[in-house]
Amino acid sequence: MMRKNYFRYLPVQLPILILLALGFAYAFKPVNSLKNISLAASEIAPLFKSGKYEDASGNVLRYRFFEPSPAAKSDKKLPVILYLHGESECGTDNEIQLVATECATIWVEPDHLAKNPVYVLAPQIPKGSDWKTKAVYSNVLLLLKQFIAKHPDIDSERIYVIGFSMGGTGVWNMILKNPALFAAAMPISGNADAYLGNTSAFERLKNLPVLVVHSIDDPVSPVSGANNAMAALTAAGNKCVGNNSSIWGMGSVIPAHNAWFPAFHNYEVIYNWLFEQSLARTDHGTISPNTLFTTRNLANDIKEVWDYSLGTAYIIERSEKAIIIDAGAGDGKIWQFIKDKVLVNKNKDIELIVTHNHFDHIVGLASFVGASQVKKVYVHKEDSEAVKMMLGADAGKIQYITDGDKIPLDGKDIEVISVPGHTWGSIVLEYGNTLFTGDAIGSGGVWLFGSALSIEEYIQSVQHLLDKTGNIKLTVLPGHTGENRLPVSDEYIRQMLACAKGLVDSSITGTPFCRTFAGMVTLGNIATVGQASVIYNLNNIHQIKGALRSLTISSGNITPRFAPYTAYYAASVDAGLTNISITPAVVPDSYQSITINGDKIASGTAYTASLPKADNQFSIVITAADKTTRTYNLTITKGK
């Protein structure tokens, strides 16, 4: 089911655009002159029943609840979501807490309900109170326990708590006071400032899955509240709070306080993540969820494994051997999980294929080191260096693959298709009518911002993929299936091509983009056609003449991180170092020359540079075929 966008979604990153955006009308529809609603939520709200809880002192707590129909229920017990609303939804109408946002209703939209039947409990508290008010807090807990008792098919090990704004702060109050009750928590635009000094309370949440959602430019609840809460959890030993938390960039939604909107509308990983969590999974909080994996069976002997952040690995097991595609991330040992929980024949020979070299696809390789069953590790040469480092002593198992290569599997080959763009060595694997695409075409969006590749060149890559696969109906299995609400098909690839072409011919205009996810900040621009988005840097639009695609040194680290459009770099090395190797490589093959301090070298060749002084300057000049020149400056300092 595609949802209508009733809110204005405008990704921008510059403060001046925020000021301009303040003049735009919010796309809420008014209930009356004081309140606003989401039409998407109002369509679902009638499915919620009404209730009233009254304690012995006469305090009344009105609530709405969703109960799956008998047909939607299964033999398994079902989770329940406790939703805590924001301050503007306080009152007695017993309606506004459902329709002001989609935080209570998104979970029971038809396609979601078909996937994960769930109960939702949404109390409404009186004006002038909050979720920490003594009577409110105790009555919400009593209501929740009473609700569970009345519905014996609720799984008491899958109680989730979600809150927005004041309710987000209420979530922190709930989990810090009830560390053993909830299987997962999602505070949205809230804070835990009142509890930051209670170290022991945070320590009791050491293994609780918490997903924090916030806008960096939130004027109502500053993002510092989210950052402080995550820092307190991290200091207490929680290793997973930063892995899925999403901090949106400036202007990601208008008004900025409504961080739930981009979370629910653009990143299905947040929905899928929630329903993976249970107390049983973490042995009631004794196991860090960051070390855990889950699996599901797909078609054609294919199984899928998710790590904690829902990074995806695939296993194809046939009688001859098993192929594992990508190794995911997380702190767990994915090889042991696959061997114990996924493989039918535990002693079968294994071959690994790496779609590209990014950490969330190769960190798990470390768990395969020393496994005698692993015979080969396939990777494109362009992306091999990081894979070698992860494999260490087993780097000798690496075999380079390139476009057109075929990896045999019980008489049914896996064909390699090179699709450079996300990385230089990105590949797609064709197996029958199934494509394993890694991040080459993205999981909803392809990220080109870290690549030196131009969008013109990426168009050629995607066209090459379509030319190789033809017009047959394909199932596309990307590198992050948890990001997708709808199945991905070959039509998605054509949408990606149309998006890239539109950027080049200016028929499509991208907008600034910022997202912090899994601790990484992404700044760039985004353009969308259908389900497909291209996330890029402005310099990706046209080929940068005379640009480098990489610059490495044999000792120390270059800062900032290399980018083809950044001209100035620095590095610090040991005081006793007398020389160093500098290796530049160009983007186009048709460059005319590269010089370092006037000495001519070939692309990809190490240049031995002497370090006679404390600060040593190197000028790297690239001359393109049309005589265009570009200069990079590198300062190497000894002894700092």
What DSSP letter does each residue of 433-491 carry, written as one string? TEEEEETSS-SSEEE-TT----HHHHHHHHHHHHHHHTTS--EEEES-GGG-SS--BHH
- C-alpha span between 443 and 327 (Å, rounded): 17
**Whole-prediction pTM:** 0.83
134-150 vs 166-177: helix axis angle to the nearest 10? Answer: 70
Give 293-540's CATH code, choosing from 3.60.15.10, 1.10.4080.10, 3.40.47.10, 3.30.70.1400.
3.60.15.10
pLDDT at residue 29 in the model? 29
What is the fold of 548-638? Immunoglobulin-like (2.60.40)
DSSP single-letter state for residue 25: P
Residue carrying the six token digits 């039947």: 117
Alpha helices in 236-383 (DSSP H): 241-244, 260-266, 268-274, 334-337, 359-362
Structure confidence by residue, pLDDT tens digits, 393-419: 999 999 999 999 999 998 889 999 999
Question: Is a pLDDT exceeding 80 seen at residue 304?
Answer: yes
Structure confidence by residue, pLDDT tens digits, 51-74: 999 999 999 999 999 999 887 777
54, 51, 47: which is closest to 64 by C-alpha? 51
Structure confidence by residue, pLDDT tens digits, 483-507: 888 888 899 999 999 999 999 888 9
Distant-in-sequence, close-in-space partners of 213: CB < 8 Å, separation ≥ 6:
186, 187, 188, 189, 245, 246, 247, 248, 259, 260, 263, 270
Number of H helices, E strands in the chain: 16, 34
60: Cα separation from own chain's centroid: 41
Decide which of 562 and 255 is more confident.
Answer: 255
Rg, Å, the chain Cα set: 26
Distant-in-sequence, close-in-space partners of 449: CB < 8 Å, separation ≥ 6:
522, 523, 524, 535, 536, 537, 540
> From edge to edge, which strands make up the β-sheet containing 532-536?
49-54, 60-66, 119-124, 78-84, 154-164, 184-188, 213-215, 246-248, 511-517, 520-529, 532-536, 445-447
Reported CATH class of domain 15-274:
alpha beta
* CA angle (273, 279, 283) in 5-degree steps: 120
Percent of the chain predicted with pLDDT > 70: 92
Residue 208 identity (one-letter amino acid) = L
pLDDT at residue 240 in the model? 87
pLDDT at residue 510 in the model? 87
For the record, the structure tokens of 32 come out as 């009356």
Which parts of 485-612 are beta strand (E)? 511-517, 520-529, 532-536, 548-553, 568-573, 579-586, 591-596, 599-601, 607-610
For the record, the structure tokens of 34 come out as 């004081």
Phi, psi of 413, rounded to the nearest 5 degrees? -70, 150
Distant-in-sequence, close-in-space partners of 410: CB < 8 Å, separation ≥ 6:
318, 319, 320, 321
Q: What is the dihedral of CA 13, 18, 23, 27, to 10 degrees?
A: 50
Lowest mean pLDDT across 451-460, 518-527, 563-572, 631-640: 518-527
Domain spans of the chain, in order of start:
15-274, 293-540, 548-638
pLDDT at residue 21 in the model? 29
For the record, the structure tokens of 259 come out as 């961080």
Distant-in-sequence, close-in-space partners of 147: CB < 8 Å, separation ≥ 6:
65, 80, 119, 121, 154
Query: What helix, strand, coil percent values describe the chain, rounded to 5?
Result: 25, 30, 45
pLDDT at residue 411 in the model? 87
Structure confidence by residue, pLDDT tens digits, 505-545: 889 988 878 777 656 667 788 899 998 999 988 767 766 77
Contact (CB, 8 A) for 81 and 107:
yes
Question: Is a pLDDT exceeding 50 seen at residue 10?
Answer: no
